[in-house]
Chains A and B, each alone.
Chain A
Amino acid sequence: MLMKKGAEANLYLEQFARVLHHAGESKVVVKHRISKRYRNPQIDKQLRESRTTLEAKLFSDAKRAGVPTPLVYEVDCVGMRIVMEFIEGQQVKLVLEKMGPKARRNLCRLIGRQVACLHHAGIVHGDLTTSNMILTREGKVYFVDFGLGEYNPSLEARGVDLHLLRRALQSIHFRITEDAYRAVLSGYQQEFGRGAGEVIKRVEEIERRGRYVQKEGRV
């Protein structure tokens, strides 16, 4: 069953038994990176292949770093498919603005801590938006999309990662951006420890570098 038609992949919800092995009972998600007719076939193949294998690796390394991610059951580099665990819960995008301020701050702090865990493990997510995060009933936050992630321990990459999260908050959750972002940073600092200040400073620098930043904000 088609669950979501995303920009770069289709997500299907299937029975474990149907896709993998008859002994399984649970549901799985099949992420199929579809070919894009608009782009050059070589770019298309290269992007889909590298993103599929890389994403599978990132899922498991992120989990090892202590960040909840779906279990990867199968990687198919020819069919450009990843078969993974189905995470039951709600998209953070849909719940973030409905929560009370305190619960929201706690959630954002947790997200910030998890981003710090990734960065500690040398991973940058590359697409930190609230639509890529699933909040489960136990209060865990799963990062379910590493399609644009990479292994990159540089200050710049970490800065861009946090900057993107802030941009996502600005465009999607513009009513609560600043409050949410502050909480993210506090969680990030708490988990990252020494060196977090340097990353946050870099975020500000990246923002000043942007093309459309007012002078007042460029001090």
Chain B
Amino acid sequence: MLCLGIEGTAHTCGIGIVNSRGKILANASRTYIPEHGGIHPREAARFHAANARLVLNEALKAAKIDIDDVDLVAFSRGPGLGPCLRTAATAARALASWLDVPIVSVNHCIAHVEIGRLTEGAKDPVTLYVSGGNTQVIAFDAGRYRVFGETLDIPVGNCLDVFAREVGIPHPGGPNVERLAREGKHYIPLPYVVKGMDLSFSGLMTEAVRKHRAGSNLRDLCFSLQETAFAALIEVTERAVAHTEKREVMLTGGVAANKRLREMLKLMAREHHAKFFVPPMELCADNGAMIGWTGVLAYRHGVRQKLKDTGVMQRWRTDQVDIPWRNR
């Protein structure tokens, strides 16, 4: 069985092709980069619509298959930006009905976890999923992926990106902040916010921008921003590890590219005698392969959907989805 997965929750238009044994035959994508400012949802959706065909052809070529060989279409139903989700869903519905194959919708956050489990061999990890659009600590318990901590306001990737933009660091914000942070030496105290299991980054971002305007050294600020935000992330992940007593820790999402974050999480995992996993970056970032693979899992375990029940869910929670492919 070949599954074509379509990802379109935010700025990535991705199409992956995966077979039922979990072999990734193709993972093509194009990423929308705004000319200035953050993602404009409508512009991003327009980008997806304009590039979907190109990405599809690339994926089919890479997988060396014909479009008629596709047996199943999966797409990212949410959470994400409405216009982008609707564009991806429209493409998925059109393909599924034209090919006359079944369609399944996939939760984007869960797909991030599943692709890591597939390629890295993690069995039952506590996952720290950090990107420009999401920040969650996820672990499986009693039939569902439970959220053991999440941001109460902005995601950590957004915190880094907006800070970069506000202080004039060029695109891509996160990686450039990381580069500058390596040259920072002095820690400038910034608000460290952990509220129970949850996190908050908006105050941290505002204060860092304010300190920059007040004349603090930019390299030191980048360093301090990372150290503060990441320490909070690791603390919450550590609490989930201590609570669930799981022995695996996984890092995924776009911010997983950050070497300092990897290093910190690895140290924490070691203190708890837990194995540490990070999928390759092309699978940490938003991609179609993870949607395709999660679609395979769902379909193989009896998930069936009618076209009319595939409306998008912008705020679809990770813990709302039953996971029939995992044992309780």
Contacts and interface: CB of A to CB of B under 8 A. Distances in A.
Contacts of B94: none
Nearest to B313: A214
A38 B265 contact: yes
Contacts of B319: 170-171, 174
A215 B320 CA distance: 14
A44 B242 CA distance: 19
A206 B231 CA distance: 24
A5 B228 CA distance: 24
Contact of B228 (A43, A174, A210): A43
B182 to A, nearest CB: 14
B198 A167 contact: yes
B1 to A, nearest CB: 31
Nearest to B136: A212
B150 A211 contact: yes
Given A174-B142, A212-B318, A214-B315, A148 B148 contact: no
Interface string B120-143: 000000000000001000000110
A6 B242 contact: yes
A185 to B, nearest CB: 18
Contacts of B37: none
Given A5-B242, A6-B242, A213 B315 contact: yes
Interface residues of A, number: 35
A164 B195 contact: yes
Contacts of B235: 7-8, 36, 39
B271 interface: yes
Contacts of A160: 152, 195-196
Contacts of A131: 243
B39 interface: no
B247 interface: no
Contacts of B230: 39
A6 B235 CA distance: 11
Nearest to B152: A210
Contacts of A129: 196-197
Given A129-B196, A212-B316, A7 B148 contact: no
**Residue among B239, B318, B320 with most chain A CB within 10 A:** B239
A209 B151 CA distance: 11
Contacts of B150: 210-212
A209 B315 CA distance: 12
A61 interface: no
A168 interface: yes
A128 interface: yes
Given A6-B242, A167-B198, A174-B142, A215 B315 contact: yes
Say what secondary structure dominates the interface of chain A: loop
Interface in A157-178: 160, 164, 167-168, 170-171, 174
A52 to B, nearest CB: 15
B99 interface: no
A19 interface: no
A7 B241 contact: yes
B187 A42 contact: yes
B315 A39 contact: no
B315 A211 contact: yes
Contacts of A89: none
B81 to A, nearest CB: 12
Contacts of A8: 235, 238-239
B83 interface: no
A168 B146 contact: no
Nearest to B268: A38
Interface string B199-236: 00000000000000000000000000001101100110
A95 interface: no
Interface in A166-207: 167-168, 170-171, 174, 206
Given A206-B152, A211-B153, 16 more contacts: A7-B239, A7-B241, A39-B230, A39-B231, A43-B187, A43-B192, A43-B227, A46-B189, A131-B243, A148-B196, A164-B197, A170-B319, A171-B146, A171-B148, A212-B147, A215-B315
Interface of B: 79, 134, 141-142, 144, 146-148, 150-153, 155, 187, 189, 192, 194-198, 227-228, 230-231, 234-235, 238-239, 241-243, 263-265, 267-268, 271, 313-320
15 contacts: A7-B235, A36-B235, A38-B263, A38-B264, A39-B234, A43-B187, A126-B195, A160-B196, A164-B196, A164-B198, A171-B319, A209-B153, A210-B150, A211-B315, A212-B315
Closest 8 CB pairs of A and B: A164-B196, A7-B239, A38-B267, A39-B231, A38-B264, A7-B242, A40-B227, A7-B238
